[in-house]
């Protein structure tokens, strides 16, 4: 495509190496794999194919850094580093957004719009560097006993992140690592590693000490599995599928490492008949279609009160037809491609299953052809008259597919909403404060939005319940989870 060829940043080119101990180096095996632009299937760059040997080098570098000079950095030193990184990330944000769009397909308007949000995330972690100080709780022990509880950095953290928003996900490991004085090895997803590698260059420019943050690119069952199982890693922070989380939990048994898991969802978004449909229709639609449905919190089970079900489906269908799908480099595009051929096949398979199980396909459902044929594009898709027992209402599709499910009463809505193995998020659209309150209390999930969907503040944080995982991201709780506690009993008699 014309625009792509004229504006590709110089960074997206040639071979990209691993970032270990502050140095760029090829994989021990010398192997590489392709970084592909999902909008056209074309090669962007070659990426070092890291494996267990590279993970071991990176963990050793992270351990050395943890024990070294970095351990003597004061909270204010680390805060200043984070603020320098903040300024560099802001300065280079257009380039980072462009790299992300090329590598994982999200529209440029979407990746550019992350600028303020990522600024807030970095500023939040910069504000936390002196958090978790010493407390002096009272005790009832005989004699002159003083008791203190300290918090100390956990050590080496392994970050394993997915491809749907690496520009954000990388910060959920990097932020708390730098805030607390831990060190980290990050394994980006094989489908979207480039923005993390560019970030590593900016970290060097900001003065990051060698080994504090390392990036090993590679595949899940190679580099990912080796990081999850490594005996000198103290904690693994993972975002991705339940299936992979099970392997990570099993691997954590090697040294009883701590885990933070943010997994998928099948989040309920509930529209009551009294809702303002002018905001509910686009809000609920983009709560799934944004990022082409590749959103962990996607409100993909859309419960609509029976009285407005037909009208709602019609308006949702009309809205979906206005969405512009295409190469995300075009600023008019609202929906980009799916990440890969594999994800495209997965999503189309679910569309087929939905039809077979008797759901009504009200809109979309097809791969887009013509000039979009070389990319992995699917139309925004709406199924209506869906039952909560159908496969498309139970399994995470991770594509632009909404299942509209009718309901009658609040009690019905809550029963159906909670009849899922997941508990990541949910939403409710209503003009009634009482309905909003009851439903937000009743949904069993880590985040509930009322008359909106998707806004997140790093100071508030988010996390999963049930099979959506555990460990809160954002807020002081996230920082606390990178520290361990120690009590000291001091006999001062």
Which residues of the shown chain bind ligand NAI in the complex (CB under 6 A)? 160-162, 164, 187, 189-190, 219-221, 224-225, 228, 239-241, 244, 247-248, 263-264, 296, 346, 396, 398
Of 114, 429, 403, nearest in space to 266 by CA = 403
Candidates 31-39, 170-178, 344-352, 438-446 — which segment interacts with Mg ion by CB under 5 A?
Answer: 31-39
Residue placing its CB nearer to Mg ion in the complex, 227 or 339? 339
Residue nearest to Mg ion (CB): 103
**How far is the C-alpha of 252 from the C-alpha of 235, rounded, in Å?**
8
At residue 253, the 3 state secondary structure works out as: coil
Q: Which of 191/262 has CB closer to Mg ion? A: 191
Q: List the single partner that 196 binds among Mg ion, ligand NAI, none, CB under 5 to 8 Å by kind.
A: none
Residue 225 binding: pick among Mg ion, ligand NAI, none (C-beta 5-8 Å cut-off by kind) = ligand NAI
Please identify, using beta-carbon distances, which residue of 39 and 424 lies nearer to ligand NAI: 424
The entry of Mg ion, ligand NAI, none that residue 363 binds, CB within 5 to 8 Å by partner kind:
none
Residue 103 interacts with which of ligand NAI, Mg ion, none, CB < 5 to 8 Å by class: Mg ion
Q: What is d(CA 371, CA 403) in angstroms, rounded to the nearest whole number?
A: 28
- Say which entry of Mg ion, ligand NAI, none residue 483 contacts (CB below 5 to 8 A, set by partner kind): none
Q: Which is nearer to ligand NAI, 297 or 479 (CB)?
A: 297
Cβ closer to ligand NAI: 153 or 471?
Answer: 471
**Would you state the structure tokens that stand for residue 372, as one six-digit string?**
């979009």
> Given candidates 103, 269, 327, 379, which one binds Mg ion under the rule CB under 5 A?
103
Strand order of the β-sheet with 301-305 is: 360-363, 381-384, 401-407, 301-305, 268-271, 425-429, 447-450
Nearest position to ligand NAI, beta carbon:
220
Residue 234 in contact with Mg ion, rule: CB under 5 A? no
Name the one residue in this structure whose structure tokens are 């009832």.
140
Residue pointed to by tokens 């503040």: 457
Beta bridge partners of 224: none
Task: Please identify, using beta-carbon distances, which residue of 211 and 264 lies nearer to ligand NAI.
Answer: 264
At its nearest, how many Å lie between ligand NAI and the CB of residue 23? 23
Tokens 């193995």 map to which residue? 421
User: Following DSSP, what letter does each residue of 9-72 receive, concatenated?
Assistant: -TTSSSEE-EEETTEEE--TT--EEEEEETTTTEEEEEEE-B-HHHHHHHHHHHHHHHHSGGGG
Q: Is 182 in the active site?
A: no
The stretch among 99-107, 284-292, 309-317, 368-376 that binds Mg ion (CB under 5 A) is: 99-107
Q: Which of 100, 262, 379, 396 is catalytic?
A: 262
Scanning the structure block, which residue is given the tokens 């005989």? 142
Catalytically annotated residue among 100, 182, 190, 296 = 296
- 341 annotated active-site: no
Partner from ligand NAI, Mg ion, none contacting 190, C-beta within 5 to 8 A by type: ligand NAI
Q: What is the DSSP letter of 308?
A: G
- Closest by CA position to 418, among listed 441, 391, 386: 441
- DSSP letter at 323 equals -
Q: b/e string for 218-249 if b means 16 or more Cβ within 10 A?
A: bebebbbbbbbbbeebbbbbbbbeeebbebbe
| Residues that contact Mg ion, how many (by CB under 5 A) | 3
CA atoms within 13 A on the CB side of 322: 9
Question: Which residues have a catalytic role annotated?
Answer: 262, 296
Contacts with Mg ion, residue ranges (CB under 5 A): 35-36, 103
């Amino acid at each position: 495509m014309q625009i792509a060829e004229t504006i590709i940043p110089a960074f997206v080119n040639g071979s990209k190496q691993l970032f270990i101990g502050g140095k760029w180096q090829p994989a021990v095996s010398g192997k590489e794999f392709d970084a592909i632009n999902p909008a056209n299937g074309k090669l962007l760059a070659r990426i070092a194919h890291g494996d267990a040997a590279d993970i071991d080098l990176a963990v050793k570098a992270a351990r050395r850094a943890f024990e070294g000079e970095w351990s003597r950095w004061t909270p204010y030193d680390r805060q200043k580093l984070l603020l320098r990184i903040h300024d560099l990330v802001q300065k280079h944000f257009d380039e980072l957004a462009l790299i992300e769009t090329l590598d994982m397909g999200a529209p440029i308007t979407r990746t550019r719009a992350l600028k303020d949000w990522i600024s807030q995330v970095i500023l939040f972690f910069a504000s936390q560097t002196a958090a978790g100080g010493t407390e002096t709780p009272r005790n009832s022990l005989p004699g002159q006993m003083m008791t203190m509880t300290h918090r100390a950095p956990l050590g080496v953290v392994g970050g394993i992140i997915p491809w749907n928003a690496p520009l954000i996900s990388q910060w959920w490991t990097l932020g708390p690592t730098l805030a607390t004085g831990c060190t980290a090895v990050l394994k980006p997803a094989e489908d979207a590693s480039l923005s993390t590698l560019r970030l590593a260059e900016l970290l060097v420019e900001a003065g990051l000490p060698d080994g504090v943050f390392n990036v090993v690119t590679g595949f899940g069952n190679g580099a990912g599995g080796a990081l999850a199982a490594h005996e000198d890693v103290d904690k693994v922070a993972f975002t991705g599928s339940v299936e992979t989380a099970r392997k990570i939990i099993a691997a954590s048994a090697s040294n009883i490492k701590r885990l933070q898991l943010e997994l998928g969802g099948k989040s309920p978004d509930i529209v009551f008949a009294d809702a303002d449909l002018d905001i509910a229709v686009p809000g609920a639609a983009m709560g799934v279609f944004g990022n082409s449905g590749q959103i962990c919190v996607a409100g993909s089970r859309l419960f609509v009160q029976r009285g407005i079900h037909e009208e709602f489906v019609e308006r949702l269908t009309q809205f979906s037809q206005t969405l512009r799908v295409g190469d995300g480099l075009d600023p008019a595009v609202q929906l980009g491609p799916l990440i890969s051929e594999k994800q495209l096949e997965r999503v189309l398979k679910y569309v087929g299953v939905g039809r077979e199980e008797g759901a009504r396909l009200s809109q979309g459902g097809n791969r887009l052809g013509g000039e979009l044929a070389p990319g992995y594009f699917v139309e925004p898709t709406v199924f209506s008259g869906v039952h909560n027992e159908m496969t498309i209402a139970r399994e995470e599709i991770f594509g632009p597919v909404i299942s509209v499910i009718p309901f009658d009463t609040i009690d019905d809505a809550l029963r159906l909403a909670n009849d899922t193995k997941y508990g990541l998020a949910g939403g409710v659209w209503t003009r009634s404060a009482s309905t909003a309150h009851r439903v937000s209390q009743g949904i069993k999930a880590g985040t509930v939005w009322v008359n909106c969907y998707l806004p997140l503040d790093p100071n508030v944080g988010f996390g999963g319940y049930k099979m959506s995982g555990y460990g809160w991201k954002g807020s002081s709780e996230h920082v606390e989870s990178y520290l361990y506690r120690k009590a000291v009993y001091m006999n001062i008699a």
